[in-house]
Structure 1
């Protein structure tokens, strides 16, 4: 595995975050970044939208005072979001390289894909691992639909657990199905509004950081 380093020689953990529209990818980033900062890390965020900078602007506003605005960059893909993170990640690779050149302290790059379907995966040339985000409002059936995003991601996130009871989602069934289709690979239940599960995701990322540091 190729290890990306910043100009100081520190390995950079590159994390992809994907999932359907409205599942809570941006909210997850906005909840996760302060936890990473509190742990002494230096994250940066690269978002992907088809034609706008909306996600990047939202992240900048929500993380004002926590993350310098110049450490949030929006990529306008001009096509299906998965293309720019899986098929031809050139634009994202360039954005990541420019970020590391401008901010050599960065040790964590978070790449958020635009909303996509269950086939979304990330190119290994772009990220070291990726998270796939589902939410309870999409229905408890979602894990049973499988798809590479659900089965191949390093960590599956089931978000918006707080509203499960209001959208007729049996959270126990959804979680059990996720465990089954992923053959026991990690699944984390989250509520990004109150921080439920966010520390667990940060711990998971740190375990991968240790691996890439050991292989550097």
Structure 2
């Protein structure tokens, strides 16, 4: 692997999923587990408020200055796929302000089953569903369910209370994803939180080694970097690796 192919910036980890699936709580879990050993920062997305950022700041999982809200002002899908500039600049500002940063977590605003991040913005992405949304939701599919780096079935402890077979939901997730990883998670289950922590650490090791390739299910988004570098990716094919040239 050429030395130039090994990244020197932070890994950007996207967390997407429908409204109410527990994305902010999942990010809080990751921060609690890793903030003692890694330098972390968070970008949150809401349409008109900074609600998710305030939740994370109140939870005390990181220095509040390391949590930056982005108000998308429109469909939250737009800011993570169609024009990622506002999120990309927020991530790059955090990396500059708190250098060196190991991971910047970027939380999508609550969207629907079609939401995925452009690899112009994130290197690795998690798609979050929750048991309370119904056992059939995983079978409804979508690019995030099928092709995100990790599918999290969240709030597994609620299964008995909402009449959902959690084991079946996880099994069907694995079938839909053709072998890509699926993880059942509950904040009341320490084993699942440890598994989530290890997945993040493994992803970081792969990213740092230069072996991880961010794959997009569709065309990459045009965007502008803090230094003025412009990427249009007009000719990029689906699945094309995103490489920053400065």
TM-score (norm 1): 0.91
- Determine which of 72, 84, 87 is the counterpart of 1:89: 84
For residues 5 and 74 of structure 2, the distance between their equivalents in structure 1, rounded to whole angstroms, comes to 27
- Determine which of 163, 166, 172 is the counterpart of 1:177: 172
Question: Are residues 196 and 80 of structure 1, via their aligned partners in 2, closer, same or farther at CA, if it must alter by over 3 Å?
Answer: farther
For residues 169 and 16 of structure 2, the distance between their equivalents in structure 1, rounded to whole angstroms, comes to 19
Q: Indicate the larger mover: 23-32 or 192-201.
A: 192-201
- Asked if 1 retains the 8 angstrom alpha-carbon contact of 2:150 and 2:180, the reply is yes
Moved over 6 A (4+): none
Which residue in the other structure is 1:100 paired with? Answer: 95
How much does 1:105 deviate? Answer: 2.8
- Determine which of 41, 49, 54 is the counterpart of 2:51: 54
For residues 198 and 111 of structure 1, the distance between their equivalents in structure 2, rounded to whole angstroms, comes to 19
Which residue in the other structure is 1:44 paired with? Answer: 41
Equivalent residue pairs, number: 208
Flag the structure with more relative contact order, 1 or 2, with Cα contacts below 8 A and sequence separation at least 6. 1
Q: Does 1:74 align with 2:69?
A: yes
For residues 195 and 162 of structure 2, the distance between their equivalents in structure 1, rounded to whole angstroms, comes to 25
Which residue in the other structure is 2:182 paired with? Answer: 187
SS of match in other structure, 1:197: helix
For residues 14 and 23 of structure 1, the distance between their equivalents in structure 2, rounded to whole angstroms, comes to 21
Gaps of 5+ in 2: 212-246
Gaps of 5+ in 1: 6-10
For residues 83 and 4 of structure 1, the distance between their equivalents in structure 2, rounded to whole angstroms, comes to 26
Question: Are residues 59 and 168 of structure 1, via their aligned partners in 2, closer, same or farther at CA, if it must alter by over 3 Å?
Answer: same
Which residue in the other structure is 2:114 paired with? Answer: 119
How much does 1:169 deviate? Answer: 0.5
Which residue in the other structure is 1:8 paired with? Answer: none
- Asked if 1 retains the 8 angstrom alpha-carbon contact of 2:5 and 2:210, the reply is no
RMSD: 1.7
How much does 1:107 deviate? Answer: 1.0
Question: Are residues 3 and 211 of structure 1, via their aligned partners in 2, closer, same or farther at CA, if it must alter by over 3 Å?
Answer: same
- Asked if 2 retains the 8 angstrom alpha-carbon contact of 1:140 and 1:170, the reply is yes
How much does 1:193 deviate? Answer: 4.7
TM-score (norm 2): 0.80
